[in-house]
Structure 1
Amino acid sequence: MIQKIKLAFRNLNRNRRRSILSALAISMGLALLMLIASVLRGEMSSSIDKSIMLVSGHIQIRSSNYVDSKSSLKWADLVADPEKIIADIQSVAQINALIEDATPRLYASAIISTGNDSLGVQVLGIDPPAKANDPFISGLTSGAFIAADDANGVVISQLIADKLKMKVGDSISLLVNTSNGDVVQQDFTIRGLYTTHTPSYDESTILMPLTKAQAITSTQNHASTIFILLKDRAQTDAVAAAIQGTGYQVKTWSQMNELMIDTENLANSFMIVVYLIVLIITATVIVNTLIMSVFERTREIGILSALGWKSRDIMALFMTEATMLAVGGIAFGIVLGRFVCLYFEKIGIGFGNLGLRNGFLLGERLYAVYAGADVVNLAIIAFVVTMLASLYPAFLAAHLEPIDALHGK
């Protein structure tokens, strides 16, 4: 075996440029796939994290009649006395120890009007001191956050402010739907501007103190949902099972993001096909290299046969050469791919507003998320595909007729 390795190394070194280019083909293909895998992982991770922090939480408690698509303000569709429910949950020490925050939220459809401009938005009634509002507080770009007793103030996104050419201190008119189906109008003052760096969310969400939102929509002491964040996402199912109650529906983040999770699974399946296509293309370079080597070394193969080398020995020699090219290319590809991923982990890829309204929240930039498991899987796939592709030239060399080979035929 040592003799075959030495001979294989000498054969590859005989045409060093071609060997290096062949290994580089694998390296570039693997590095590209590492980048694709890390960006895909980053995109899905970012989308799920943003959805949890901004929309779904880890768990939500809703009325048994609540339907996402309706955003109904009828009392029968809302959670009555949400503060009592929260207090009951927090009274159980084992559950409370796992909860980061539990806060009521109210959703209402509205129209912002500023002179000649108008914009449909969703009013999000919140309890301002709640920890769940950290994404908005940390994302303030100007002004101040609303106070719980502010009856005339709202916080709007920087994106909405730019669209309507508004700033902190300006007045806006809100037309808001109420629980009895009426529409009421009131002027509010912009207290602050925020950004979550998620255009699809920011372009349609304004913040209002919960008590004011309840008052203007005639939903006193009611909320659309109780928004719960946990200290550990892994505890979601256990906490959800513990707080199941009669008359309410308890939804976990995975249940509220089913479309996103299904899309992720579909994307992962599709990417396997993409990986194979890219690797097969790069593996053909190895095949071409070995086939050229077979034709260039026909006489040498004949001499080896005359010296007693069997077909399996010649085949093993060419497979050893393919292994060296594959291992060298994969090793360099991992190093190259890691540096490329590091760059996009820090810099990201700017895509602007790619968020979709059907359950996806994507930031303004997508950042790669490197995972060792992806590298191991891709390296194994690259090696297997390369070795399978190399079987043909190895088989071709092994079955040359010794006499014809000695004459270079």
Structure 2
Amino acid sequence: MIQLFRMAFRDLGRNRRRTFFSILALAMGLALLILMASFINGEMSSAMDTTIKLQSGHLQLRQQNYDETKASLKWENLIEDPAQVTRQIATLEPVIAASARLFASGIVASRDQSTGVQIVGIEPDSITNNPYREGLVSGEFLTAGDRDGILIGRPLSEKMGLQVGDQINLTANTSNGDVSDQLFTIRGIYSTETRVFDSAIVFLPLEKAQAMTGTENHASTIFVLLKDKDQTDAVVNALQTSRYKILTWTKMNEVIIQTENLSNAYMSLFYLIVLGVTATVIINTLIMAVFERTREIGIFSAIGMRSRRIMAMFLAESSLLAIGGILLGLVLGALAVAYLERNGFYIGNMAVGGGGFLIRDTVYAKFSLEGTINVTIMAFIVTMLAGLYPAALAARMEPVEALRAEK
């Protein structure tokens, strides 16, 4: 066996340039697949984490008849006395924090500009608001007793030419169907690095949002964060009640899960295409080697070497090409993934959001050991399969015809 690989190594060295480019083709294909798998993994993981932190939480409690798409402010659609409900949820061991939130549609106007926004009333001191607090780029965060302060996103401030201290007019729907408007002073400008979210969401203290919309001691939802999302079912069982509708992070983020499944399906097709091209290069390399060594193969057959051993010799060459290409591909792939894990890829205005799907302005790769192992095994198998035809071609050569070659 060792002698077989020595012969294969020697034969590959006869045309080093062709061997190098064959190895490079496999390495580039593998590196591309590793990079794409890590990039998709990072994008989907980031989308899920970002959406949970900013928008869905791990759990939400709502009134049974609450319609999120309409952001209803009718009292019968809202949670009454949310502070009491929040305290009960916070006593559960897996819960990090729970806080009430109120949603309303509104319009922000300044000078001759106006734009539609979603108003979110929050409890400023709750740690569920840390992403906004930690994302402050100027000014200060809201306080519970603030009656005329508002927090806006950086894209909105840039679009309307606003800064901390400026006054804006906010118009909002109310619980009785009327419209309420008031001047607010911009206390702070935040950035979660998720443009689609930051450009559309403004925050008010919960009590002020309730007063402005006429909802008094009511909230749209109870936003819950857990220590571990795997404990979701246990918390749901503990909270099971007919009074409220309980939504889990998987239910609220079905679009992300479906997109991830679809991405995995497309990646499988992409794997086949890239590895197919690589296999073509390997087949071409080995077929050329067969025809260049036709006479040599005839000599081997004439002195008694079995067809099986001739075939094994070319498969050994294929395996050496696979090993060389895979090792180089792993190095190139690791370097590319390490770069994107550190620096990311800025997509800026290309970031989109829909159906509760939030994508950050910069997407980072996330190394997937399972994905790398899978694609490495696939690359090795495809390379060996690519070597079967040239190996069989060499093994089937008739000694007499082979010896006549190149005369």
Q: Which TM-score band (shorter chain)?
A: over 0.9
Matched, 1:53 2:62: no
**CA offset digits 1:154-206 (Å, max 9, x no partner):** 01111111111111111100110011111111111111100000000001000
**CA offset digits 1:65-119 (Å, max 9, x no partner):** 122211111112111111111222334xxx2x21111000011000001121000
Structure 2 match to 1:200? 196
Give the AA of the match of 1:157: G
Cα distance between partner residues in 1 of 2:157 and 2:226: 32
Cα distance between partner residues in 1 of 2:74 and 2:310: 80
The 5 A counterparts of 1:82-97 are 82-91=82-91, 95=92, 97=93
Structure 2 match to 1:359? 356
Cα distance between partner residues in 1 of 2:405 and 2:3: 24
Would the aligned equivalents of 1:146 and 1:209 in 2 still touch at CA under 8 Å? yes
Would the aligned equivalents of 1:200 and 1:357 in 2 still touch at CA under 8 Å? no
Structure 2 match to 1:383? 380
Would the aligned equivalents of 1:287 and 1:390 in 2 still touch at CA under 8 Å? yes
TM-score, normalization by structure 1: 0.97
Cα distance between partner residues in 1 of 2:96 and 2:178: 37
Pick which of 189-198 and 11-20 moved more.
Answer: 11-20
Cα distance between partner residues in 2 of 1:386 and 1:237: 45
Would the aligned equivalents of 1:280 and 1:386 in 2 still touch at CA under 8 Å? no
* Displacement after TM superposition at 1:2 (Å): 2.1
User: What are the ranges of 5 or more consecutive residues in structure 1 without an aligned counterpart?
Assistant: none
Cα distance between partner residues in 1 of 2:379 and 2:327: 11
* Displacement after TM superposition at 1:388 (Å): 1.3
Structure 1 match to 2:287? 291
User: What are the ranges of 5 or more consecutive residues in structure 2 without an aligned counterpart?
Assistant: none
Structure 2 match to 1:176? 172
What SS is found at the alignment partner of 2:304?
Answer: coil
Give the AA of the match of 2:399: P
Would the aligned equivalents of 2:90 and 2:97 in 1 still touch at CA under 8 Å? no
Structure 2 match to 1:240? 236
Would the aligned equivalents of 2:152 and 2:203 in 1 still touch at CA under 8 Å? yes
Structure 2 match to 1:342? 338
Cα distance between partner residues in 2 of 1:124 and 1:316: 69
Cα distance between partner residues in 2 of 1:84 and 1:7: 79
Structure 2 match to 1:276? 272
**CA offset digits 1:254-277 (Å, max 9, x no partner):** 100001101110110110110110
Matched, 1:395 2:374: no
Give the AA of the match of 2:119: V
Cα distance between partner residues in 2 of 1:52 and 1:161: 25
Cα distance between partner residues in 2 of 1:378 and 1:76: 54
What SS is found at the alignment partner of 2:69?
Answer: coil
**CA offset digits 1:30-77 (Å, max 9, x no partner):** 111111111101110110011000000001011101222111111121
The 5 A counterparts of 1:93-112 are 95=92, 97-112=93-108
Cα distance between partner residues in 2 of 1:331 and 1:234: 37
* Displacement after TM superposition at 1:123 (Å): 0.5
**CA offset digits 1:362-397 (Å, max 9, x no partner):** 111111101111110110011111111221111111
Cα distance between partner residues in 2 of 1:132 and 1:392: 61
Match of 2:119 among 109, 119, 123: 123
Pick which of 198-207 and 349-358 moved more.
Answer: 349-358
* Displacement after TM superposition at 1:357 (Å): 2.5
What SS is found at the alignment partner of 2:196?
Answer: helix
Cα distance between partner residues in 1 of 2:358 and 2:14: 54
Structure 2 match to 1:228? 224
Cα distance between partner residues in 2 of 1:229 and 1:407: 78
Would the aligned equivalents of 1:348 and 1:366 in 2 still touch at CA under 8 Å? yes
Matched, 1:166 2:162: yes
Structure 2 match to 1:10? 10
* Displacement after TM superposition at 1:327 (Å): 0.9
* Displacement after TM superposition at 1:241 (Å): 2.0
Cα distance between partner residues in 2 of 1:206 and 1:221: 20
Give the AA of the match of 2:262: L
Structure 1 match to 2:41? 41
Would the aligned equivalents of 2:89 and 2:98 in 1 still touch at CA under 8 Å? no
Structure 1 match to 2:367? 370
Would the aligned equivalents of 2:193 and 2:360 in 1 still touch at CA under 8 Å? yes
**CA offset digits 1:5-51 (Å, max 9, x no partner):** 11111111121221111111100111111111111011101100110
Matched, 1:137 2:112: no
Pick which of 82-91 and 169-178 moved more.
Answer: 82-91
The 5 A counterparts of 1:144-155 are 144-155=140-151
What SS is found at the alignment partner of 1:15?
Answer: helix
Would the aligned equivalents of 1:259 and 1:359 in 2 still touch at CA under 8 Å? yes
Structure 1 segments of 4+ aligned residues over 4 angstroms from their partners:
none
Structure 1 match to 2:67? 67
Give the AA of the match of 1:69: T
Cα distance between partner residues in 2 of 1:6 and 1:115: 80
Cα distance between partner residues in 1 of 2:77 and 2:314: 71
Structure 2 match to 1:405? 402
Please provide the CA RMSD for this pair: 1.0
Cα distance between partner residues in 1 of 2:304 and 2:362: 63
What SS is found at the alignment partner of 1:69?
Answer: helix
Give the AA of the match of 2:101: R
Cα distance between partner residues in 2 of 1:237 and 1:48: 18
